């Protein structure tokens, strides 16, 4: 195996220099090129055939969004967006166009350097999947719907008002998850009768932007989960990265403090285990694409509690990792391609809803 060939793309020479400093001391990585605008990045992707490109979004001549789209339709390359947290919504538009993951522009310290090197090594080995991108882009997709601001306001009942739903859906995902989530959630009908909780591994500060981006694609309301939120039917709650989303017996959301040694932010197991404990056989656990094994143990918990368990299949996964571990555990009842999961969710919710009224 040769070295990992990396191209750095940012209009700031200072930022390129910082990223170069992080990477150049690693003997497994070789920086083969740099670009200060999107047009040069497209040319370097063709000429140098790198294993990975880092990509800024705001650049002259051609911005990062346009560059990603052109690269992914000509010479597909794993792309890591390195962007400002303030531009989080646009960062997930970049994911829709084929970028693998988004991180914030790092500070100069040893921890940031170590995390950045690990991220580059992990993503460089990914076989880029471009077929999901075309389903999520512009007018070519059936899920381009009004943004969150155009939804009616969320009406939260008082504590003494019963909130009825027959199932609760908990989704775990990591690398490749935003694309899969967009595909799944956008296919759900506006009258989907159950709440959906999402734990997606994500860089600090970007969860709100991802929630807004998903809301712009979906008929359902999508919101960043907040402490004490009452869990309502037909609402998607996205966990922040800085805390673990778990549920309380009062059917409210708790944002649980993460352990200092935690690897995953947020923890998928924390969400799935709490849903299994509180909702038991009402639980539906879904594990999507991602690196590692987070969520697999939580899927086991949901199955043991009598709930329903689903997993994304290998063919539609960017990384067949955490879903593979869950499948191998024997606790996944049905393995489906990403574009079939929403239909299965709707069937589960409708059957349960009818049964609850018999």
Catalytic (active-site) positions: 174, 201, 294
Report the 10 Å Cβ neighbour count for 36: 18
Question: Cβ neighbours of residue 27 under 8 Å, at least 6 residues apart?
Answer: 3
Report the 10 Å Cβ neighbour count for 125: 13
Q: Whole-angstrom Cα distance, residue 83 to residue 145?
A: 25
Inter-residue contact 20 to 43 (CB < 8 Å):
no
Q: Whole-angstrom Cα distance, residue 26 to residue 4?
A: 10
Inter-residue contact 19 to 54 (CB < 8 Å):
yes
Phi-psi region of 69 (alpha: psi -120 to 50; beta: other; left: phi over 0): alpha
CA angle 83, 80, 135 (to 5 degrees): 100
Inter-residue contact 312 to 345 (CB < 8 Å):
no
**Burial label, 128 (beta-carbon count in 10 A; 0-12, 13-18, 19+):** middle
């Amino acid at each position: 195996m040769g070295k990992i060939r990396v191209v750095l793309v940012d209009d700031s020479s200072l930022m390129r220099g910082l990223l170069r400093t992080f990477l150049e001391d690693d003997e497994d990585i070789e920086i083969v090129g740099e670009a200060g605008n999107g047009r040069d990045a497209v040319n370097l992707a063709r000429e140098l055939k790198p294993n990975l490109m880092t990509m800024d979004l705001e650049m002259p001549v051609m911005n990062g969004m346009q560059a990603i789209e052109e690269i992914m339709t000509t010479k597909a390359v794993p792309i890591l967006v390195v962007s400002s947290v303030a531009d989080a919504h646009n960062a997930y538009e970049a994911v829709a166009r084929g970028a693998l993951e988004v991180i914030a522009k790092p500070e100069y310290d040893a921890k940031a350097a170590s995390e950045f090197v690990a991220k580059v090594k992990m993503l460089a080995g990914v076989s880029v999947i471009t077929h999901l991108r075309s389903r999520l882009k512009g007018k070519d997709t059936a899920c381009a719907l009004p943004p969150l601001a155009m939804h009616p306001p969320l009406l939260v009942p008082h504590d003494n008002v019963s909130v009825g739903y027959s199932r609760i859906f908990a989704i775990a995902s990591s690398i490749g998850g935003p694309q899969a989530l967009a595909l799944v959630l956008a296919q759900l009908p506006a009258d989907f009768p159950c709440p959906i909780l999402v734990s997606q591994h994500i860089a600090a500060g970007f969860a709100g932007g991802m929630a807004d981006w998903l809301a712009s694609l979906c008929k359902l309301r999508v919101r960043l989960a907040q402490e004490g939120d009452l869990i309502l039917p037909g609402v998607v709650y996205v966990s922040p990265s800085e805390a673990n989303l778990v549920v309380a017996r009062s059917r409210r959301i708790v944002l649980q403090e993460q352990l200092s040694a935690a690897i995953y932010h947020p923890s998928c197991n924390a969400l799935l285990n709490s849903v299994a404990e509180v909702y038991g056989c009402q639980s539906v656990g879904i594990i999507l694409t991602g690196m590692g094994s987070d969520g697999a143990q939580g899927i086991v918990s949901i199955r043991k509690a009598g709930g329903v368990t689903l997993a994304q299949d290998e063919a539609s996964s960017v990384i067949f990792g955490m879903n593979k571990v869950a499948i191998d555990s024997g606790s996944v009842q049905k393995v489906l391609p990403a574009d079939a999961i929403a239909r299965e969710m709707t069937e589960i919710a409708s059957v349960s809803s009818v049964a609850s009224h018999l």
